Structure 1
Amino acid sequence: MKALALFLGGLAACWGMFAGCASAQVQAQAQPVDVLHWWTSTSERRAANQLSAYLGANGVQWRDAAIPGGGGMAAVKVLKSRVLMGDPPDVAQLIGTTLTEWADVGLVLPLNGVATRQRWAQNMFPTVMELVSYQGEVIAAPLGIHRINTILFNRRAFARAGLQPPKTWAEFELAARKLQTLGIKPLAWSDEPWQIATVFESVLLGEAGPALYRELIVQRKSSAWMDPRVERALNRLRWLRSINGDTPREQTWTDAARELLVGNVAMMIMGDWAKGELMAWGASPGKDFGCVVVPGTENMHLYSIDTLAMLVNSRHREATQEKVAELVSSLPAQMAYNRIKGSVPVHRDIDVSSLDSCARDSWDTFADPRSARVPSLAHRMAADESIKDAVAQILWRYVTDPRMEVADAQRRLAAVIRAPGAER
């Protein structure tokens, strides 16, 4: 966080001349916009194309700058480089805590006018508005809500084994054993650090519950990491890696989803963007696969929210940038985008009957005031880039090195996840 703040602080000086862009007279004719993002899988590409087509039909040309790489790490590096070179994109996929870091140094165009005209506060979920608001300013256009604590399962594999999708870890273990006797791998797995972190935070939420999860992830109470429930989550993580019996390897999440689709594996713990990918390949949640929550996380929504920020630059496209925000946050664009992406709209006033079964459960849970909505650590909702990466690396080391004791992993996690100003 400090390193990024220093980096962006330096950039702010370079870009101080553009601080008055928002008040400058803009050109009457709509201009194209450069959009930097990391939507590069089949479903993500189609979802981005849907937005591009919608903008094009409304007088805005989307100039695509897609940067491949799991979790957006490569895209963030390219974005920093472009800003440093004096060529920031007009629109960038910035999510979670990254938004406030860029807004802190004046590089994000405020969208208060758009939010007021479209009544975002009235039409969108409060959790979404909290995420895109900072120091009295609306700093991004929200697109969709992803649910992280999701198990996708192959319906044919479960039918062949005579199984129902697991609701508890005991049922999960029973299913794993039965699937193995049929020669089916129980769980898709990758040793990519961000994917390990994605699995862990879902398991942690189930073992710890939302109150302790918030202490650990949101409030960053170091002492809480020594709780026995964290120990159980770490033990469960190691067990999940081991259940296939072979030597785990790194693979992309799309490769893991493909294994699920063809039936080589029966289950996958991943955000519901994997559902979008399966659907892009022609699979149906009603026929080919299904979705259930990770055991212990019923009535909980571990979320990640897609957002687009409009960046201050020298091209004087503020009017077009505001138009982009208006268009992508409109209900028609939201419904079309999220249907492909696997996520659900940020609007509270949608027709839920138009959603598939997986999306309907996600939206209903997020909308229910009795549910627990908790931010993802692995996907930048609850911590900055440096903390997220440090946690992922510790978890990777823990699951790949059997010599590391659980208590050691807990102490290491406690050391990197600290509240600002906490004593060491």
Structure 2
Amino acid sequence: MQVLAAVFLSALALSDVQAQAPAPGLTLDVLHWWTSASERRAADQLAQQLAQAGVLWKDAAIPGGGGMAAVKVLKSRVLMGDPPDVAQLIGNTLTDWADIGLVLPLGEVAQRQRWAQVLFPTVLERVSYKGEVVAAPLGLHRINTLLFNQRLLAQAGVAPPHSWAQFEAAVRAVQAQGGRALAWSDEPWQVATVFEALLLGEAGADLYRELVVQRRPAAWLDPRVEAALLRLRWLRSLAAEPPRERVWSDNARALWQGQAAFLIMGDWALGELLAWGAQEGRDFGCAALPGTTGMHLYSMDTLAMLRGPRDRASVQETVAEVVVGVGAQLAYNRIKGSVPVRRDIDPAALGPCSRDSWETFASARSQRLPSLAHRMAADETIKDAVAHTLWRYLTQAQTSTQETQRRLAAVIRAPSAER
């Protein structure tokens, strides 16, 4: 990243003449990875909100699960001296870019809009770095989400499960009816998504923080980590097929069409179901994954304003103002499946799943935990290493649980500085 910054800042210095005369118009180049049906609709909704404020959204969507391809494209564009005006940067990836000076500070916007008063404290903390606000928060996703097909459960004569014993009974009932219990993908980031939700349920909030936030390698040898890994392998066995990497939206469609009774996935899957016309409470429902009631394992969508050879600061600040406003927050998150980052909205405006997510995050009694799989608690290198270790554990039957615990302990490193 230091080399990246040096190359880009050199290009920036060479462009001082052009910077004195900004290009006409209010068009901003926005790089992101929202390409599924619901994500596309949510991005379009943001574009409409911005158009009303006189800002035109020039779309630069990069397909690829989890944003890995988009991050590569972003680095390439910065090296070429052509960064986007706005980029979807989240979690520790955001702070990495802010650390090398490529992100426009948004402190004046935050002060004008009273972000300290209207945003959840955790949200404001996540978009702040070294005393500066460095991104505009869009929405909160709940990772520990269990989605289920209402009709399949009714046919099997079971209620939505709230414990693992109830889940296992529901699996047997669905299978007895000839149905498929769980939609599954062996794509590494999806495996990591499922595992961290299982880990939270088995380990509890305190041990989860030791494992993921404090990154204490010895903690990964705890028996509760072993229990989470064994449950992960059991869930994989429900697929009853060779390893296969399905796109996450294909699994959401399988749930909607009755090809699977359950799906463990972040609540972006909720947005996808709604985009296809499914009705919450009739076609599907959702709940916290067993063992995680009262906990919110979160990731957060954020937009960073990047420094570039053209002076676009005033327009970039307008983007931040619009997307954090109440109107854009409600419109975007209703489509995306996520929930607003503001604590001053009326939860009655949200659907049942989203309302439970928002109220859990808002409650002083709840536990709010950052996702490792979605960059909230780890950088790209650690996140990818954990995902690959878990993928290897599931796809290579000879790999033992204890060996996997040791490998996870080896790839986890203590944070180099307080975030």
Residue 9 of structure 1 deviates from its aligned partner by 4.0
Work out which of the residue numbers 190, 194, 197 in structure 2 matches 1:202.
197
C-alpha deviation, 1:11, in angstroms: 3.5
CA contact (8 A) 1:283 1:289 kept: yes
Aligned pairs (5 A) from 1:211-222: 211-222=206-217
Tell me which of 276, 281, 285 is aligned to 1:286. Answer: 281
Which ranges in structure 1 are unaligned for 5 or more consecutive residues?
none
Structure 2 CA distance for aligned equivalents of residues 273 and 142 of structure 1: 16
**Equivalent residue pairs, number:** 416
Q: Distance in 2 between matches of 1:350 and 1:304?
A: 19
d(CA) in 1 for partners of 2:4 and 2:151? 50
User: 1:271-310 alignment to 2 at 5 Å?
Assistant: 271-310=266-305
How big is the shift at 1:184? Answer: 1.0
Match of 1:246 among 211, 229, 241: 241
Q: Matches of 1:306 and 1:20 in 2, distance apart?
A: 32
Q: In the alignment, residue 176 of structure 1 is paired with which amino acid?
A: V
* Aligned 1:142-153 pairs, distance under 5 A: 142-153=137-148
Equivalent position amino acid for 2:83 in 1: P
- What CA distance in whole angstroms lies between the structure 2 residues aligned with 1:132 and 1:26? 30
Alignment of 1:99 onto 2:94: yes
> What is the CA deviation profile of residues 365-416 of structure 1, one whole-angstrom value per residue up to 9, with x for unaligned ones?
0000110000000000000001000000000000111101111100100011
Task: Report SS of the residue matched to 1:48.
Answer: helix
Shift of 1:243: 1.6
1:355 aligns with 2:350: yes
Q: Which residue of 2 aligns with 1:117?
A: 112
- Picking from 172, 176, 190, the partner of 2:171 is 176
Which residue is 1:37 aligned to?
A: 32
Structure 2: tracts of 5 or more residues without a match: none
1:364 positional shift? 0.3
Q: Which of 359, 366, 369 lines up with 1:364 in the alignment?
A: 359
Identity rate of aligned residues, in percent? 65
1:153–1:387 distance in 2 versus 1, CA, 3 Å: same
Instruction: Give the Å deviation of 1:281.
Output: 0.1
Kindly state the Cα deviation for residue 16 of structure 1 after the two structures are TM-superposed. Answer: 5.6
How far the C-alpha of 1:13 sits from its partner, in A, is: 4.2
Give how far 1:315 is off: 1.5
- Helix, strand or coil: the match of 1:110? coil
In 2, are the aligned partners of 1:26 and 1:317 still within 8 Å (CA)?
A: no
Look up the match of 2:4. Answer: 8
Q: Distance in 1 between matches of 2:21 and 2:316?
A: 11
Given that 1:8 and 1:102 are in contact with CA atoms closer than 8 Å, whether structure 2 keeps it comes out as no
Q: Deviations over 1:71-117 (max 9, x none)?
A: 00000000000000010000000000011100011100000000000
How far apart in 2 are the matches of 1:8 and 1:131?
A: 23
Q: Which residue of 2 aligns with 1:259?
A: 254
Indicate yes or no: 2:373 matched with 1:378: yes
Q: TM-score, normalised by structure 1?
A: 0.95
What TM-score, normalized to structure 2? 0.96
1:14 is displaced (CA, Å) by 2.5
Aligned residue among 82, 89, 100 for 1:87 = 82
In 2, distance between residues paired with 1:46 and 1:254?
A: 14
**Match for 2:7: what amino acid?**
L
- What whole-Å deviation, never above 9, does each CA across 1:254-303 have from its counterpart, x for those lacking one? 00011000001000000000000000000011211000111100100000
Report how far residue 27 of structure 1 moved.
5.9
Q: Is 2:414 the counterpart of 1:396? A: no
Map Cα deviations across residues 303-332 of structure 1 (whole Å, 9 max, x no partner).
000000000001111110010111111110
**Deviation readout 1:126-159 (Å, 9 max, x if unpaired):** 0000100001100000000000000000000011
